[in-house]
């Protein structure tokens, strides 16, 4: 099935990035959020990011204007259902996602493919709550979406081949690369990445090193572009904790036990960059380690 229109649920960090790349690739985009302010902020951010691409001569001004013209916003979930492909990009919380799908399913066209940008939750389980498990799959973008080349495609137990092939064609049109992952907790990227971040939290928790030394060690010793604690702040500590809990619950292995210090930061509301405090304090001109 050729996909021409894409509906995106959630206008946050991931949703606005997905809208950006979809519109730039020529898809008609319907971006939904319950918050009018979030939608306004998303459109402004997409415009700034497209302007940056124009200034760096990655795209033309005509490309930017055409992409912006393809994006419409709505607070009505029903509007999203009238597209060929829906990508749910809400918070990493299974109950929230199920609530969205329950409201969305009656509004979908018969041929609509339903997907989730979840970074860890079972695709088979999410699909089973809908009327179309054969046309449901995981469509996991990396953050920041306009820059990162990888998309994880995750088939649930019922996902049919046509659905997979249609989503693969979208990834290729976006000039990104697909990695096919089996439907196990956290898939490929986060199955490896988030336990590394959790281990960095334990290294801090046990006093082996401070925030600065841990991040410096991985940047210079393993040639990582960002240290693990800096990366955790970028991802969001609540998201990191949610994924660790999915791994711990889903695989029943103590090696995935979330670090108590990570839990403490989340309980304090220190979630990283989005709240201005996490393993670093971002309220000044330069980020300062909080430990």
Q: Could you tell me the CATH number of the domain that includes residue 220?
A: 1.10.1040.10
* CATH number for the domain harbouring residue 127: 3.40.50.720
The tens digit of pLDDT for each residue in 49-76 reads 999 999 999 999 999 999 999 999 999 9
Question: Which has the closest alpha carbon to 72: 98, 105, 43?
Answer: 43
CB 266 within 8 A of CB 241: yes
Residue numbers in the chain where pLDDT is lower than 50: none
Position 273 scores a pLDDT of: 96
Q: Which domain holds residue 276?
A: 191-289
Both 75 and 41 in one domain: the answer is yes
Position 198 scores a pLDDT of: 98
Both 176 and 199 in one domain: the answer is no
CA-CA distance, 92 to 158, in Å (whole number)? 22
> Which residues does residue 86 pair with via DSSP β-bridges, in sequence order?
7, 114
Position 1 scores a pLDDT of: 79
Position 126 scores a pLDDT of: 97
Quote the number of domains for the chain: 2
62: how many CB neighbours lie within 10 A of its CB? Answer: 9
Of 182, 199, 234, the residue that ends a domain is 182
Both 202 and 171 in one domain: the answer is no
Position 139 scores a pLDDT of: 98
Of 138, 155, 182, the residue that ends a domain is 182
Position 169 scores a pLDDT of: 97
Q: How far is CA 150 from CA 25, 73, 146, 169, 189, in A?
A: 16, 26, 10, 14, 10
Position 53 scores a pLDDT of: 97
> Which residues does residue 151 pair with via DSSP β-bridges, in sequence order?
141, 178
Positions at the binding site for NAD(+): 10-15, 33, 92, 97, 119, 143, 274
Q: Which of 140, 166, 198, 230 is catalytic?
A: 140
Q: Given the structure tokens 């259902």, which residue do they identify? A: 81
Q: Annotated catalytic, 122?
A: no
Positions at the binding site: 10-15, 33, 92, 97, 119, 143, 274
Q: Which of 16, 122, 152, 198 is catalytic?
A: 152
Both 200 and 272 in one domain: the answer is yes
CB 238 within 8 A of CB 266: yes
Q: Annotated catalytic, 152?
A: yes
Q: Annotated catalytic, 248?
A: no
Both 126 and 152 in one domain: the answer is yes
CA-CA distance, 146 to 53, in Å (whole number)? 10
């Amino acid at each position: 099935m050729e996909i021409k229109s894409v509906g995106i649920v959630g206008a946050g960090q991931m949703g606005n990035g997905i809208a950006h790349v979809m519109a730039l690739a020529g898809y008609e985009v319907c971006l939904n959020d319950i918050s009018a302010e979030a939608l306004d902020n998303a459109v402004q951010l997409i415009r700034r990011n497209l302007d940056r691409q124009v200034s760096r001569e990655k795209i033309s001004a005509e490309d930017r204007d055409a992409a912006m013209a393809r994006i419409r916003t709505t607070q009505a979930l029903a509007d999203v259902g009238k597209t060929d492909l829906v990508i749910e990009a809400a918070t990493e919380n299974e109950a929230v996602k199920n609530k969205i799908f329950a409201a969305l399913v009656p509004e979908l066209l018969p041929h609509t493919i339903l997907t989730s940008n979840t970074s860890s939750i079972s695709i088979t389980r999410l699909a089973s709550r809908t009327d179309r498990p054969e046309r449901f799959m995981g469509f996991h973008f990396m953050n920041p979406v306009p820059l990162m080349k990888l998309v994880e495609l995750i088939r649930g137990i019922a996902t049919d081949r046509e659905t997979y092939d249609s989503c693969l064609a979208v990834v290729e049109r976006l000039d990104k690369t697909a990695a096919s992952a089996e439907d196990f907790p956290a898939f490929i990227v986060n199955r490896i990445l988030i336990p590394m971040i959790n281990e960095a939290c334990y290294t801090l928790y046990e006093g082996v090193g401070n925030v600065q030394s841990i991040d410096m060690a991985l940047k210079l010793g393993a040639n990582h572009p960002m240290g693990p604690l800096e990366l955790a702040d970028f991802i969001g500590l609540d998201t990191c904790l949610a994924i660790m809990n999915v791994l711990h619950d889903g695989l029943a292995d103590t090696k995935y036990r979330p670090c108590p210090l990570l839990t403490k930061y989340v309980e304090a509301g220190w979630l990283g960059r989005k709240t201005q405090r996490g393993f670093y304090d971002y309220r000044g001109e330069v980020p300062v380690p909080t430990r």
